[in-house]
């Protein structure tokens, strides 16, 4: 008998046709013995339904329950296999996948790009602007699978799959949920709710969420001030199924953090006797998103068609002032990203294939004024990004999966991309061909061998080409409009085992990352003491690592799970020798145990850990967020009890960092949360 949480995954999976990989594995694990006769389990990790055993990709998922335990979408990523979560300041978070971060990891929401023209190559905050109330699951695809995803998919792809209301009756039905939580370490309050109404033909869902997060208490008892923020989010979706083979949806999402402090700028870091800034606030960070989707199976030419159109606006406004400076800077930065994707796919007796077109157009506006803090006199100054810049991505692709005999499956694809980035005074045009190939060999009934080889790229965006202003690590960046695309060759091999409720996966990978855009010193210094830097195609990285994940049912009610990842990298920057690569995570992982007697309660306990990281690049050493002697190792343990006193109530009590360890995740700008008690309640009807 499976633990109750795994049974819920199974029950939900049976109601959907587009299963993801981990849900499919859970389904396999939780069915009784005769389920081993099932020949095909479909997954959608490769943009269409594919038999799971044919997939060679390294894939993990987090479901809605994993996300619900956190105030931010990104916080849940800290528990995912192969993901290192960096946090420059509360209210934000950046996933590092196979040593890559920011715009070197593609972020998607229901297949539409979140990465825009002002996405930083460093850790970026925009993934935290997706409402948690909208999340069905997060898919984490590790590796360079660029025929399906194109530019930016260097280290991997993070995709949010949103929840859609489903009803079986022709009569109007409704259901809903209200939730509330509070914690001690940040004195936080999170409130929210969802209401679904509809029939099996037409349904709608409205969700609201509000979070008030106070100043963070770190290990040992100190509080970091200011570090608190507020967040408010809304999501409205309408979905229709006019026929058994047709469906459509219209999705509106909104999230705003009106005033979020950037802690690493406001608190003196390593090597500093005073902070870099007296004021640094994202004011506001805001994301608005509209997405329309139409799907038709067995349509024109006998193909399954999927058409998506979306608009995303991100506002990245800031209020900054260098430490004790007499004037502050007020910024208004905006990206309007328009996307259209059209694909046709088909399943065959031996596999499946997909072909499509992706079109994206991004418009950037940016203004900046300097304000005297005494006289309130304002002066227009050069903006952070060239105002009126734009970026266009047009690509066409094809990808196929087919079986060879009884024991082998192959996946291969190509993509042709045309990228044009326009600044007011120049234009950069890149045409790229990228592709990948994968192989799965079934060794036995329970064991498989996998391998992948990908060639990918990242086209320079407006951020790379035109940024002017302060950067983390006490830097001041000046523009460079002569950049070229970055390129990567990425290979991995792996094994996976699945028998009943036991699973094991291991992947080893290596990548060569050429023409990498990096920030180099010009030798100058600003009047406020910041190093003047410029982005250039001057770096080459060699990165390799190992990822391991496992789940095991022990007896009728116990589940063990865990993961560990190790990454090592070297880089060479023109004019310099070889050194450790920037911001490479240390050996880290997590192990957990769940006791679920399928009664009214469930018990969980876990330990997260990290080794020290003393292999630092020269830039790491100069970064005020990183101890120049290296980031010490750490361990944190926690526990959670979930009680279901009635069918419509769920109460959860969590105690994290029980030993109140004081530690900092490598590369982060603030220490982690200290001992923390969280109480949450959910009422469903």
Q: Output the pLDDT for position 598.
A: 83
What per-residue confidence (pLDDT) applies to 522? 85
Across the range 349-377, mean pLDDT stands at: 94
Position with higher pLDDT, 21 vs 77: 77
Instruction: Single out the residue of 600, 576, 586 nearest to residue 652, CA to CA.
Output: 600
How does residue 7 score in pLDDT terms, banded at 50, 70 and 90? very low
Averaged pLDDT, 648-663: 97
Single out the residue of 589, 455, 441 nearest to residue 512, CA to CA. Answer: 455
Give me the pLDDT at residue 270, please: 94
Residue 556, pLDDT > 90, answer: no
Give me the pLDDT at residue 376, please.
Answer: 78
Task: Inform me whether the pLDDT recorded for 615 exceeds 70.
Answer: yes
pLDDT of residue 44: 57
Mean pLDDT of 569-597: 94
User: Would the pLDDT of 428 be above 50?
Assistant: yes
Q: Residue 207: what pLDDT?
A: 97
Question: pLDDT digits over 311-333, tens only?
Answer: 999 999 999 999 999 999 999 99
Residue 35 scores a pLDDT above 70: no
Exposure on the CB side of residue 31, measured as CA atoms within 13 A: 15
pLDDT at 426: 87
**For 6-26, what is the mean pLDDT?**
35
- The pLDDT of 426-438, averaged and rounded, is 94
Render the burial of 296-330: b for 16+ CB within 10 Å, e for the rest. bbeeeeebbbbbbbbebbbbbbbebbbbebebbbb
- Cβ neighbours for 546, distance < 8 A, ≥ 6 positions apart: 506, 507, 508, 509, 565, 566
Annotate 189-200 with three-state secondary structure. EEEEEEEEEECC
CA atoms within a 13 Å half-sphere pointing along the CA-CB vector of 370: 10
Rounded to two decimals, the pTM is: 0.91
**Residue 40 — very low, low, confident or very high, per pLDDT cuts 50/70/90?**
very low
Q: Average pLDDT, stretch 421-430?
A: 91
pLDDT of 157 > 90? The answer is yes
Tally DSSP H helices, then E strands, for the chain: 7, 38
Of 148-162, 273-287, 512-526, least confident by mean pLDDT is: 512-526
Mean pLDDT in residue range 617-621: 92
For residue 521, pLDDT over 90 is answered with no
C-alpha distance from residue 294 to each of 173, 318, 649 (Å) = 24, 37, 35
Res 3: pLDDT: 35
Domain ranges in the chain are 4-684
Q: Tell whether the model's pLDDT for residue 33 goes beyond 60.
A: no
pLDDT at 414: 97
pLDDT at 123: 79
Counting residues of the chain whose pLDDT is more than 70, the rounded percentage is 93
Choose from 40-44, 119-123, 646-650 the range with maximum mean pLDDT.
Answer: 646-650
Residues 6+ apart with CB under 8 A from 315: 284, 285, 286, 287, 332, 333, 334
Residue 354 has pLDDT above 80, yes or no: yes
pLDDT digits (tens, 9 = 90+) for 202-242: 999 999 999 999 999 999 999 999 999 999 999 999 999 99
Q: Kindly report the average pLDDT of the chain as a whole number.
A: 90
Does residue 31 register a pLDDT over 80? no
- At 295, is the pLDDT very low, low, confident or very high (cuts 50, 70, 90)? very high
Q: What is the pLDDT of residue 59?
A: 87
Residue 612 has pLDDT above 50, yes or no: yes
**Region 102-111 average pLDDT:** 94
In angstroms, the CA 426 to CA 430 distance is: 14
pLDDT at 24: 34
Task: Indicate whether 572 pLDDT > 60.
Answer: yes
pLDDT category at 425 given cuts 50, 70, 90 is confident
Q: Is the pLDDT of residue 394 over 70?
A: yes
CATH superfamily of the domain spanning 4-684: TonB-dependent receptor, beta-barrel domain (2.40.170.20)
> Is pLDDT above 60 for 1?
no
Q: How many CA atoms lie within 13 A of 480 on its CB side?
A: 19
Answer with the residue of higher pLDDT: 510 or 17. Answer: 510
Grade residue 43 by pLDDT with cuts at 50, 70 and 90: low
Q: What is the pLDDT of residue 4?
A: 37
At 68, which helix (H) or strand (E)? helix 64-68
Q: Provide the percentage of residues in the chain whose pLDDT is more than 90.
A: 76
pLDDT surpasses 50 at 50: yes
Residues with Cβ within 8 Å of 327's Cβ and at least 6 positions away in sequence, in order, are: 321, 370, 371, 372, 373
Looking at residues 129-150, what average pLDDT do you find?
Answer: 92
pLDDT in tens, 455-480: 999 999 999 998 888 877 678 888 88
Task: Find the mean pLDDT for residues 421-427.
Answer: 91
Three-state SS for 238-279 is EEEEEECCEEEEEEEEEEEECCEECHHHHCCCCCCCCCCEEE
Confidence of residue 9 (pLDDT cuts 50, 70, 90): very low
- Token pair in block for residue 182: 């509070």
Burial class (CB in 10 A: 0-12, 13-18, 19+), 601: middle
């Amino acid at each position: 008998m499976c633990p109750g949480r795994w049974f819920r995954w199974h029950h939900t999976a049976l109601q959907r046709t587009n299963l993801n990989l981990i849900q499919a594995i859970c389904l396999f694990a939780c069915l009784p013995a005769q389920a081993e006769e099932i020949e095909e389990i479909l997954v959608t990790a490769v943009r269409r339904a594919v038999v799971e055993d044919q997939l060679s990709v390294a894939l993990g998922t987090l479901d809605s329950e994993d996300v619900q335990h956190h105030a931010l979408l990104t916080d849940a990523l800290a528990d995912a296999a192969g993901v290192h979560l960096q946090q420059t300041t509360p209210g934000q978070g950046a996933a590092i996948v196979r040593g890559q971060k920011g715009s070197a990891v593609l972020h998607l929401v229901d297949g539409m790009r979140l990465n825009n023209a002002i996405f930083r190559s460093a850790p970026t905050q925009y993934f935290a602007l997706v409402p948690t109330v909208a999340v069905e699951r997060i898919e984490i695809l590790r590796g360079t699978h660029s025929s399906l995803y194109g530019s930016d998919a260097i280290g991997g792809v993070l995709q949010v799959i949103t929840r859609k209301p489903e009803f079986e009756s022709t009569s109007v039905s409704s259901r809903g949920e209200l939730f509330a939580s509070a914690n001690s370490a940040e004195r936080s309050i999170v409130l929210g709710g969802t209401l679904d109404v509809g029939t099996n033909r037409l349904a709608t869902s409205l969700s609201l969420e509000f979070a008030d997060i106070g100043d963070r208490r770190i290990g040992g008892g100190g509080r970091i001030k200011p570090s608190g923020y507020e967040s408010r989010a809304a999501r409205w979706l309408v979905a229709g199924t006019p026929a058994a083979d047709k469906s459509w949806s219209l999705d509106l999402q909104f999230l705003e953090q009106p005033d979020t402090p950037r802690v690493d700028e406001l608190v003196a870091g390593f090597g500093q006797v005073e902070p870099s800034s007296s004021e640094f606030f994202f004011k506001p960070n805001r994301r608005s998103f509209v997405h329309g989707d139409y799907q038709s199976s067995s349509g024109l030419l006998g193909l399954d068609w999927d058409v998506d159109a979306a608009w995303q606006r991100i506002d990245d406004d800031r209020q900054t002032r260098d430490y004790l400076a007499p004037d502050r800077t007020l910024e208004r930065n905006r990206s309007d990203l328009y996307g259209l994707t059209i694909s046709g796919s088909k399943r065959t007796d031996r596999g499946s294939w997909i072909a499509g077109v992706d079109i994206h157009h991004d418009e950037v506006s940016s203004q900046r004024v300097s304000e005297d803090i005494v006289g309130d006199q304002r002066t227009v100054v050069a903006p952070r990004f060239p105002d009126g810049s734009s970026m266009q991505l047009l690509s066409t692709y094809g990808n196929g999966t087919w079986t060879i005999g009884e024991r082998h499956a192959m996946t291969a694809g190509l993509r042709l991309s045309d990228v044009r980035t326009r600044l007011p005074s120049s234009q950069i045009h890149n045409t790229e061909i990228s592709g990948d190939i994968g192989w799965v060999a079934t060794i036995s009934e329970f064991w498989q061998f996998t391998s992948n080889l990908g060639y990918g790229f990242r086209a320079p965006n407006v951020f790379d080409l035109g940024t002017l202003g302060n950067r983390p690590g006490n830097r001041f960046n000046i523009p460079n409009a002569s950049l070229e695309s970055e390129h990567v060759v990425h290979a991995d091999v792996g094994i996976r085992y699945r028998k009943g409720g036991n699973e094991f996966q291991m992947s080893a990978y290596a990548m060569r990352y050429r023409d990498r855009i990096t920030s180099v010193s010009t030798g100058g210094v600003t009047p406020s003491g910041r190093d003047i830097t410029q982005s250039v195609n001057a770096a080459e990285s060699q990165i390799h690592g190992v990822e391991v994940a496992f789940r095991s049912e022990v007896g009728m009610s116990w589940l063990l799970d865990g993961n560990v990842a190790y990454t090592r990298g070297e880089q060479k920057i023109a004019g310099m020798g070889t050194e450790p690569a920037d911001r490479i995570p240390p050996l880290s992982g997590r192990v957990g145990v769940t006791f679920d007697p399928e009664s009214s309660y469930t018990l969980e306990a876990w330990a997260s850990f990290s080794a020290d990281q003393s292999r630092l690049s020269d830039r790491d050493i100069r970064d005020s967020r990183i101890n120049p002697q290296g980031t010490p190792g750490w361990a944190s343990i926690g526990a959670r009890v979930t009680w279901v006193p009635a069918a419509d109530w769920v109460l959860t009590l969590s105690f994290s960092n029980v030993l109140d360890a004081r530690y900092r995740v490598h590369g982060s700008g603030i220490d982690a949360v200290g001992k923390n008690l969280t109480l949450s309640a959910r009422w469903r009807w």
